[in-house]
Amino acid sequence: MSHCCTFTISNNCPYTIWPGTLAGSGSPPLQTTGFLLDAGQSVRIPSVPAGWSGRIWGRTGCKFDANGVGLCQTGDCGGRLQCDGNGATPPASLFEITLGSGNEQDFYDVSLVDGYNLPIFAAPRGVHGSCNATGCSSDLNL
């Protein structure tokens, strides 16, 4: 399978978040399935394979021990830093994507079907054609 994309996840919130990732059925897990991201930081996840599908979301209010065991107030994924195949416990704002392979199209959206916990915004970069940014950049909890 060829590699086609790099995801850049940025924390524009004034507090720490813990992004989680979940690969869809038939897609390999990304190189990380959970990590800490301080306010103002960005992380690049390179070498996302063509044809990959899955979800990325932010978790809030997390506390983990040295073994990565703990809980998050929102978006928890099985009580661990690394989600390892567990999805987000609602409420969680989701970025969902399916990457095409070859000349196939990519499909992506921001979903609030599992509730809302963070403003989330997705903007494709370095693509050809008309690709729109999408998201919910307002804090719906205010």
pLDDT in tens, 113-123: 999 999 998 88
Tens digits of residue pLDDT in 3-58: 578 899 999 999 999 999 999 999 999 999 999 999 999 999 988 888 899 999 99
Closest CA to 117 of 83, 78, 74, 73: 74
Q: Can you give the residue range of the structural domain that contains 62? A: 5-136
Q: Are 8 and 37 in contact (CB under 8 A)?
A: no
**Assessment of whether the complete model's pTM goes beyond 0.85:** yes
As for how many domains the chain has, the answer is 1
Residue 141 lies in a domain: no
Residue 142: inside a domain, yes or no?
Answer: no
- Domain contains 19: yes
Q: Is 91 a member of any domain?
A: yes
Alpha carbon 74 to chain centroid, angstroms:
14
- Please check whether residue 27 lies inside any domain of the structure: yes
- Report the CATH number that the domain containing residue 127 is assigned in CATH: 2.60.110.10
